[in-house]
Amino acid sequence: METARFNRWLLARTVKPLLFLLCLLPAFWLVYGAATDQLGANPAEVLIRSTGDWTLRMLCAVLAVTPLRVLLKLSALARLRRMLGLYVYFYVVLHLLCYAWLDMGLDPSDIARDIAKRPFILVGFTAFVLLTPLAATSWNRAIRALGAARWQLLHKLVYAVAVLAVLHFFWMRAGKNNFAEVQVYAGIFGALLGWRLLRYVRNRRI
């Protein structure tokens, strides 16, 4: 009974606008903090790190939708996955822009050399490249054009993105030998991807 009630609540018209605003709040806070000089002694670093952190959090949310939908029988959660996925891309674009502008002064040659020179930047940029076709095909027209099977196959790239995102975060923190948050995200992604693998194996046996 509670599951049915929660599913009805998730189907309400107000849920998507509320989720949209909730996901946008971190970006508003960062813009406000930068405008009012509330980001500390190194606002550029805070902006780069925070947009990266929110990319990881949104990616966790996207990957959590299917396990929660199946385990809790909340079918209505599926309608929120596309918006969460687009917010992953929104925050990764902000992350890349903050790095390119605040760290590299929007100099294309410097950015290209930095990507080639530093592995963690290369890995992060690769994750961004893989996310781009996913964002570009997150529309009903794209699904119809590609066909459901090819669309689903393409969107499995999100699993590679998750692995690359954790690797990017790990290498970035390796310089300061600070892996506490890396372990948290690695554990979350490991659990979410591991659940999918177990489900796939079980379905193959049936």
What residue ranges do the domains of the chain occupy?
2-205
Classify residue 73 as left (phi > 0), alpha (psi -120 to 50) or beta.
Answer: left
Q: Which pLDDT score, from 0 to 100, does residue 3 have?
A: 87
Cβ–Cβ under 8 Å, residues 89 and 134: yes
pLDDT confidence of residue 177:
80
pLDDT (0 to 100) of residue 18:
97
In this predicted structure, what is the pLDDT of residue 161? 97
pLDDT of residue 167: 97
Cα 17 from Cα 148, distance rounded (Å): 27
Provide the 3-class DSSP secondary structure of residue 177.
coil
Report mean pLDDT in 10-residue bins for the chain, 206 residues: 85 96 98 95 95 98 96 94 97 98 95 94 97 95 92 96 96 86 96 95 79
pLDDT at 203: 85
Long-range pairs for 57-63: beta carbons < 8 A, 24 or more residues apart: 58/23, 58/84, 58/87, 58/88, 58/91, 59/88, 59/158, 59/161, 59/162, 59/165, 59/189, 60/185, 60/188, 60/189, 60/192, 62/88, 62/158, 63/158, 63/162, 63/189, 63/192, 63/193
pLDDT score, position 27: 98
Q: Quick check: 77 and 126 in contact, CB under 8 A?
A: no
What pLDDT is recorded for position 204? 80
Q: pTM (2 decimals)?
A: 0.95
Instruction: For residue 59, give both structure tokens.
Output: 């990616």
Tell me what pLDDT residue 52 has.
97
- Burial class of residue 52 (count of CB atoms within 10 Å of its CB; 0-12, 13-18, 19+): buried
Cα gap 158→133, rounded to integer Å: 10
